[in-house]
């Protein structure tokens, strides 16, 4: 793992996930905690090299690769853990992640491994997601749901941490179908990020008085050195989400009703994905289900039951029997 200084008193520990470190008047705040105790141990080592002791941990969202090291860090330092309501619930009961991936049923062993099932960690403080300070450190939290139900970002100084609100082109191209629980909210969050980078969405502060972000830190991969760079990547993520919606429209274009499994197969082919493991299947299936839900909410498709099978059909192909 590599320690990178972004600005005075702000660092990133770059590894499998990007970990933020903020020092302010003798206090030290971490942003996310990596996959497991090994990552937690390395985080603590890097922070100690700076002469700091972490007082607080903000978890952007409760996926195992972002909060798995929290259990270790709490035991070693006693730091306070901050997370939003739904994310805090998953952190307290990590079985919830593989449980919802498997439609609420007992998940098979392939879904009960450290990539999907971290050690539990209780949040000391449940965040609203709009706070302007934590542990007396002035900052700004941003609500960025979509990839996860109540994901947040964090702005401090000239640095913006966004969790997995957007993904780098390298990650998108590698995986094809990014994980999202709500496509519509994901697109809205991307729009909100662009507005924030343009300096138009910080309440009560005139645009001309707002400092531009010089560093935008995604949850994984490259750190972007300007708002313009980040906006291009945000646009790339939005295009991928829109292409998944379009793949579903294409799959249903002939007018035939299709099952969710058939739609997933069509989307995987369109996105160049070979579904070869159970964990990959359920992760991609969640995104496709989120896309179906988005199109249904928009009135483009509707569900129907036929021969005990849930099917989806384009609404403009014939009169919707459900009104």
Task: Render pLDDT for 244-296 as a digit per residue (tens, 0 to 9).
Answer: 999 999 999 988 999 999 999 999 999 999 999 999 999 999 999 999 999 99
Task: Render pLDDT for 2-23 as a digit per residue (tens, 0 to 9).
Answer: 999 999 999 999 999 999 999 9
How do the domains of the chain map onto residue ranges? 2-239, 251-317
Of all helices (H) and strands (E), which one includes residue 161? strand 159-161
Task: Render pLDDT for 134-162 as a digit per residue (tens, 0 to 9).
Answer: 999 999 999 999 999 999 999 999 999 99
Structure confidence at residue 243 (pLDDT): 98
Structure confidence at residue 208 (pLDDT): 45
Domain 2-239 indexed as CATH 3.60.15.10:
yes
**Residue 202 or 212, more confident:** 212
Q: How much is the mean pLDDT over the chain?
A: 94
**What is the Cα 323 distance to its own chain's centre?**
34
271 contacts 322 by C-beta, under 8 angstroms:
no
- For domain 251-317, the CATH class is mainly alpha
């Amino acid at each position: 793992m590599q320690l990178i200084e972004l600005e005075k008193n702000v660092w990133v520990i770059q590894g499998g996930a990007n970990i933020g470190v903020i020092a302010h008047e003798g206090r030290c705040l971490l942003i996310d905690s990596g996959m497991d105790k090994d990552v937690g141990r390395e985080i603590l080592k890097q922070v100690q090299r700076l002469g700091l002791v972490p007082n607080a941990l903000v978890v952007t969202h409760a996926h195992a690769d972002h909060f798995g090291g929290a259990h270790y860090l709490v035991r070693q330092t006693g730091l306070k853990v901050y997370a939003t309501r739904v994310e805090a619930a998953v952190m307290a009961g990590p079985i919830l992640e593989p449980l919802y991936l498997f439609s609420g049923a007992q998940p098979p062993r392939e879904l009960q491994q450290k990539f999907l099932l971290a050690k539990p960690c209780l949040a000391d403080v449940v965040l609203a997601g709009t706070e302007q300070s934590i542990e007396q450190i002035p900052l700004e939290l941003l609500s960025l749901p979509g990839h996860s139900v109540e994901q947040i970002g964090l702005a401090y100084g000239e640095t913006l941490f966004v969790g997995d609100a957007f993904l780098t082109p390298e990650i998108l191209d590698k995986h094809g179908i990014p994980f999202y629980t709500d496509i519509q909210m994901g697109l809205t969050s991307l729009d909100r990020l662009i507005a924030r980078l343009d300096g138009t969405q910080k309440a009560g502060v005139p645009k001309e008085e707002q400092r531009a972000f010089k560093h935008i830190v995604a949850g994984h991969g490259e750190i972007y050195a300007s708002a313009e760079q980040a906006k291009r990547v945000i646009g790339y993520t939005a295009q991928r989400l829109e292409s998944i919606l379009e793949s579903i429209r294409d799959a249903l274009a002939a007018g035939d009703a299709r099952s969710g499994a058939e739609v997933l197969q069509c989307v995987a082919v369109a996105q160049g994905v070979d579904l070869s493991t159970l964990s990959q299947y359920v992760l991609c299936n969640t995104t496709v289900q989120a896309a179906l839900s988005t199109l249904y909410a928009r009135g483009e498709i509707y569900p129907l039951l036929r021969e005990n099978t849930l099917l989806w059909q384009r609404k403009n192909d014939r009169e919707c029997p459900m009104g």
